[in-house]
Amino acid sequence: MALGYVFAVLAAAASGGGSILQSLGIRRVGAYGGASLDLVRLRHQYVYFLGLGVDLVGFVCAAAALHWLPLFLVQSLLAFSIGVTATIAAFLGARLAAAGWGMVGIGAVGLILLGVSADPGPARTLHLEWRWILLGMVVPVAVIAFCARRRGGFWAASALAFSAGLAFCVVGISARSLTIPDLSWRLVLEPSVWAIVVNALVGAVVFAMALQKGGPTAVTAIMLTTKTALASFVGLAYLGDRVRAGFGAAATVGFVLAIAAAVGVAHYASRARQKRSIGPPRVGWRL
């Protein structure tokens, strides 16, 4: 079980670092604030693909952690990667208010409470029809992204970040409920596997579109909050995720603190952007 916690921490670190690298790649090609087709120029930007690679490592670590740990713990710990994102951005020249760093600390307290409250164990296996529904969730994700991509401003970035979070929520649920068959080749026929692959790919593309229209800290906060809240609810209600006896209050407080901290960091990052000139910076970094 301890190995599950190690994998979860590694996944959080990789997710935060990957977000920074992807955002840096988008800005290097001048795609920030442009049309979605501008993202085609990323094919020559190795930093962006390095970010995707780091994210992939994080996904593998998260999937390994979900083999032992409930969704509400792993997803909340992944939400703390917002702190990793903000910390790296600060070293690259961004400024986050003291209250924002306070929110990062609050999130850490929430995660500690969740860590001691979680009851490790395997998840229930979903019925076949629900595994097909998870695969089909890529359709509403794509519809939301299509409607938002032509708009500008914070609304568009928020909608794209939400749809990316929805896709990654499906990835988490599918990974948590996946049962490895006796014959490994049968994984090719498993809808949950395709739900993971398809939603992860679409989520990565939509997340890139969100980063194009908004700062990495705010966009990452919305995406992580969405996938954490939805996946945690599904895990507790349908997958058999459990809280240790007598730790219900601690788990509730920890979850609220973790989510509130992510939203708080996004708020203070948005205020920091408003104090600077509009448009991508010529030097430094952008929260």
Domain presence at residue 10 = yes
Domain count, the chain: 1
The pLDDT value recorded for residue 218 is 74
Domain presence at residue 255 = yes
Q: What is the pLDDT of residues 3-16, one digit of tens each?
A: 888 999 999 889 88
Q: Above 70 in pLDDT, residue 265?
A: yes
Structure tokens at 238: 């349908």
- pLDDT band for position 268 (cuts 50, 70, 90): confident
Distance, CA of 248 to CA of 162 (rounded, Å): 28
Domain presence at residue 12 = yes
Domain presence at residue 283 = no
Domain presence at residue 80 = yes
Q: What is the pLDDT of residues 214-225, one digit of tens each?
A: 776 678 778 878
Q: Are 207 and 161 in contact (CB under 8 A)?
A: yes
Among 71, 22, 11, 7, residue whose Cα is nearest residue 217:
22
Distance, CA of 130 to CA of 132 (rounded, Å): 5
Domain presence at residue 279 = no
What pTM did the predictor assign? 0.77
Domain presence at residue 281 = no
The residue range of the domain holding 190 is 2-274
Domain presence at residue 287 = no
Q: Are 126 and 177 in contact (CB under 8 A)?
A: yes
